[in-house]
Amino acid sequence: MALVEVRNLVKIYSQGESPLSGKLKGATEVRAVDDVSLDIHAGETLGLVGESGSGKTTLGRLILRLIEPTSGSIRFEGRDLLTASRREMGRLRRDMQIIFQDPFASLDPRFRVEEIIAEPLLIHRNSQGARTSKDAIGAQVLELLRAVGLDGSIRRRFPHEFSGGQRQRIGIARALALRPKLMVADEPVSALDVSVGAQIVNLLAQLQRDFGLTYLFISHSMPVVRYLSTRIAVMYRGKIVEVGSTRQITESPQHPYTAALLEATPEVTV
């Protein structure tokens, strides 16, 4: 059984819709995700690649149930996420985390680093009625900082004091805090320069080995996806047009859009 099973998933947005009176004359519907089915297997990195606007981020957020689908089904470890209660989703969210695209916008500027990383630990401790001491949480924060290549001495500093790459490492530490099974990495290096992005990609690969993570890695860059992924799913205009092993997709693409992506993207070293 796959860790994540997505079947016939659809997300429709209406354009030209009035919040007071509903659809206006001439309003159109956009199928951001259009009848998508795919599996994500435990321990793998499934690369989801496609151009901007293809529906990649929407699909990632649907899988985490950060937004609700129009139709279809999503199962996590066999559990139907769309029928899960709010309390059940609270428990499930320990196992499903996200790394955001923008390391500048994803960290609360009012919080110190230690507060940012400790926040999910505190939320889920309180939600389950568990009692974890302040010292124990502090020790976990230091461990997480070391895991992402940052010194514990930075824990009292604020996000604005760091570079983009350092901020993304902080965001990764926060996502890692609950030891999730699934990590959705939504364009995690697109806001960084190439050399810093390469360091983050290598960090993600190391963390997968160290923590047994499963990734849905979302990107528009085929070379980055090829480097990190076990399998690749190609998304075009809301649809998955091709899924296969990294070797099959990059060496023998079957869909014209996949071939176009490979031809249009320069090689990078990571």
* Residue 17 confidence class, pLDDT cut points 50, 70, 90: low
Is position 269 within any domain?
A: no
What share of the chain in percent tops pLDDT 70? 90
Give the pLDDT confidence of 179-194 residue by residue, as tens digits.
999 999 999 999 899 9
Q: Is the pLDDT of residue 126 over 60?
A: no
Q: Is the pLDDT of residue 128 over 70?
A: no
Is position 55 within any domain?
A: yes
Is position 135 within any domain?
A: yes
Is position 206 within any domain?
A: yes
Read off the pLDDT of each residue in 124-129 and give the average, rounded to a whole number. Answer: 59
Q: Are 33 and 58 in contact (CB under 8 A)?
A: yes
Q: Is the pLDDT of residue 267 over 60?
A: no
Structure-model confidence comparison of residues 266 and 165, the more confident one: 165
Is position 257 within any domain?
A: yes
Is position 270 within any domain?
A: no
Mean of per-residue pLDDT scores for the chain: 91
Structure-model confidence comparison of residues 17 and 148, the more confident one: 148
The token duo for 54 is 């293809």
Is position 168 within any domain?
A: yes
Buried (b) or exposed (e) across 27-52, using 16+ Cβ within 10 A?
Answer: eeeeebbbebebbbeeebbbbbbbee
Is position 153 within any domain?
A: yes
Q: What is the pTM of this model?
A: 0.90
What share of the chain in percent tops pLDDT 90? 78
Read off the pLDDT of each residue in 188-207 and give the average, rounded to a whole number. Answer: 94
* Residue 21 confidence class, pLDDT cut points 50, 70, 90: very low
Tally of structural domains, the chain: 1
Who contacts 72 (Cβ-Cβ below 8 Å, separation ≥6)? 6, 7, 8, 9, 10, 35, 36
Give the pLDDT confidence of 68-107 residue by residue, as tens digits.
999 999 999 999 999 999 889 988 989 999 999 988 888 9
For position 116, which CATH number holds?
3.40.50.300
- Residue 210 domain boundaries: 4-20+28-264
